[in-house]
Amino acid sequence: MRTSIKRKIKVLVVDDSLLFRERISKGIAQDAAIEVVATASNPYEARDKIVEFKPDVMTLDVEMPRMNGIEFLRRLMPQYPIPVVVVSAVSHNVFDALNAGAVDFVTKPDLSTQKGFDFLINELIIKIKIASTAKVGHWKREYDASKDIGSINSRPSNKIIAIGASTGGTEAIFNLLKSFPRDIPGTVIVQHMPPVFTRMYAERLNNTCLMEVREAKHGDRVCPGTVLIAPGDYHMTIKKSGTGYIVECNKGEKVSGHCPSVDVLFNSVAQEAGKNAIGIILTGMGKDGAKGLLAMRQKGARTVGQDEKSCVVYGMPKVAFEMGAVEKQASLESIPQLVYSML
């Protein structure tokens, strides 16, 4: 009886450092599901290797001579869309790369020790496997300004919006928030992201969206026109305070595989806000947030799930939809109008 053999994930490693290319290639190739089909030292060489080897995933350094990784992505994606995992130091450039079409990123830790390098390889293997399932054809979607949902300042101030996302979520959240008006109900967000990057991401959103966006701090009040993003490595919950809510940020073990966890946030919203809340689950691998969204719906909250077509990875929204946690499923482009109709 024949057994089917699953094809390995073909990976192209792009880095200007010969030593780093070799170490990454050897490290990720130790995983039985990954095959490094080629390496490249610069974007021009990488373009030729993409045409020749047709890799499933590319790892890409941001800082390279002749052409940096961000400019390469901007030129590459319209012609040869391929899931890309960026390998970078802590920098705002990561978000430029995600905006240009990268699926995810890993940060370079202290590579002077074997422990630091082992951490990088483990993270990279996980992200490569996730990226191999990602859809990259719709990342460039432009939103019609005529669909702006306008002002909602006549809506009750005790409403709260809770959003959860993972892989592909940085751009999905950006596209969602830029379609919301300045006086959006108080909004709390968990996006799976390491420490430091959550602050940088919040600053980036704050500079491009109408509302105030910042990384949450313990005790922050959830106010209309304000978006609070859970800090990396901290679970964020909400707590009733007078007629409104405050957030609490605490260290803790991973829940549903993550810290911060969408489930932790959504469960607290279900308990504290009930029918005054709207829950939105966006693109991401795994199932974090599905049970929490179900708890929200059972407490009377309105719930929305991103549809498969517009997701980079249809994981979290799929699990939530299949367990009955999603009241309405919609494309990313349609969610702002849908949320407005629910307020």
Question: What are the catalytic residues?
Answer: 166, 192, 288
| Amino acid at the residue 323 | M
Q: Residue type for 292, please?
A: G
> Are 283 and 329 in contact, with CB atoms under 8 Å apart?
no
Contacts of 95 (CB under 8 A, 6+ apart): 170, 200, 201, 204
Q: How would you classify residue 172: left for phi > 0, otherwise alpha for psi between -120 and 50, otherwise beta?
A: alpha
What the block records as the tokens of 30 is: 């130790």
Q: How crowded is residue 240: how many other Cβ atoms within 10 Å of its Cβ?
A: 13
Report the alpha-carbon distance of residue 191 to residue 343 in Å, rounded.
23
Burial of 160 (C-beta count, 10 Å sphere; 0-12/13-18/19+): buried
CA distances to 85, 127, 168 from 131, rounded to whole Å, are 7, 6, 10
Q: How far is CA 283 from CA 82, 134, 243, 323, in A?
A: 18, 10, 32, 16
83: cis peptide before it, omega within 30°?
Answer: no
Cβ partners under 8 Å of residue 6, min gap 6: 33
Place of tokens 């607290």: 268
**Beta carbons of 74 and 43 less than 8 angstroms apart:** no
Looking up tokens 């349609």 gives 334
Distance of CA 253 to the CA centre of its chain: 20
What is the rounded distance in angstroms from the CA atom of residue 271 to the CA atom of residue 295?
Answer: 8
Residues whose CB falls within 8 Å of the CB of residue 258, separated by 6 or more in sequence, listed in order: 166, 192, 286, 288
